[in-house]
């Protein structure tokens, strides 16, 4: 069975990926309130449990899901605005 050599991203692809990561980091940092900390924690590998997040962020466990949804909606809006600026 023939296997193709592993493909490596081009310099342009790497530059674009780096730019995308930077734009996301900047947008997350611009989020209001505890959103930056919540989004950063959710991006950890492995992500913390809601119980761990509640303790770390000092918020009720039941509010993490709705807060997460609001933060992600705000992040999408910021990234959409940045993309079309």
Q: How many domains does one find in the chain?
A: 1
Range of the domain at 54: 23-83
Distance in angstroms (rounded) separating the CA atoms of residues 31 and 53: 18
Helices 50-57 and 35-42 meet at what angle, rounded to 10? 150
Answer yes or no: is 68 within a domain: yes
Answer yes or no: is 77 within a domain: yes
Q: Three-class SS of residue 84? A: coil
Residue 9 banded pLDDT, cuts 50, 70, 90: confident
Instruction: Give the number of other CB atoms < 10 A from CB of residue 27.
Output: 20
> What are 24-80's pLDDT values in tens digits?
999 999 999 999 999 999 999 999 999 999 999 999 999 999 999 999 999 999 998
Instruction: Look at residues 40, 38, 45, 48 and name the one whose alpha carbon lies nearest to residue 69.
Output: 38
Residue 3 banded pLDDT, cuts 50, 70, 90: low
Answer yes or no: is 42 within a domain: yes
pLDDT at 5: 61
Q: What is the pTM of this model?
A: 0.78
Q: What are phi and psi of 13, to 5 degrees?
A: -60, -45
Residue 4 banded pLDDT, cuts 50, 70, 90: low
Answer yes or no: is 6 within a domain: no
């Amino acid at each position: 069975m023939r296997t193709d050599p592993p493909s490596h991203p081009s310099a342009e692809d790497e530059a674009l990926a780096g730019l995308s990561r930077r734009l996301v980091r900047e947008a997350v940092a611009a989020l209001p309130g505890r959103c930056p900390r919540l989004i950063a924690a959710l991006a950890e590998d492995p992500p913390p449990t809601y119980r761990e997040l509640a303790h770390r962020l000092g918020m009720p466990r039941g509010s993490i899901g709705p807060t997460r949804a609001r933060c992600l909606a705000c992040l999408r809006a910021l990234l959409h605005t940045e993309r079309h600026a």
